[in-house]
Homo-oligomer: A and B are copies of this chain.
Amino acid sequence: MVQYQDRLDLTFAALSDVTRRGVLEQLGGSQASISDLAERFQMTLTGMKKHVSVLEQAGLVVTEKVGRVRTCKLGPRRLEEEAAWIESHRQLWSARFDALDKIVEKLKTQEKTDGHRKRR
């Protein structure tokens, strides 16, 4: 359970940076070396290495070094738990806002029929 929470911590933290989300998107298209990514995101090798490490720590990316180049690709963790967490909470939200939803719906339709004027 603690592990589960820790993993959620790591993953959500990894996803909370626009560069790292970009890297994931990039790797969704094709593998890339650290240099490739560093160039694409206009950042030093060292900087990109850190981002990749964060993603690797979270299990979202795996890397392998062959010769002098480290190749990065999407990892085995597929955001199942994160998707599950978010889904279950979206349901909480939904339960809580069903009533509100109806009111909003009602207001919308009234607006349409009522318009801004009251009498013609």
Chain A positions within 8 Å of B, measured between CB atoms, are: 4-5, 8-13, 15-18, 21, 24-25, 28, 73-74, 76, 78-90, 92-97, 100, 116-120
Contact = CB atoms under 8 A, between A and B. Distances in A.
B12 A119 contact: no
Nearest to A118: B84
A80 B10 CA distance: 21
A89 B24 contact: yes
Q: Oligomeric state, in number of copies?
A: 2
26 contacts: A4-B116, A5-B21, A8-B15, A9-B17, A9-B18, A11-B16, A12-B13, A12-B16, A13-B13, A15-B85, A21-B85, A25-B92, A28-B89, A74-B92, A74-B96, A74-B97, A76-B97, A76-B100, A78-B94, A78-B97, A80-B90, A81-B116, A83-B83, A83-B86, A83-B90, A84-B116
A5 B22 CA distance: 10
A16 B16 CA distance: 8
Given A16-B16, A117-B84, A89 B100 contact: no
A100 B78 CA distance: 11
Contact of A79 (B9, B18, B73, B93): B93
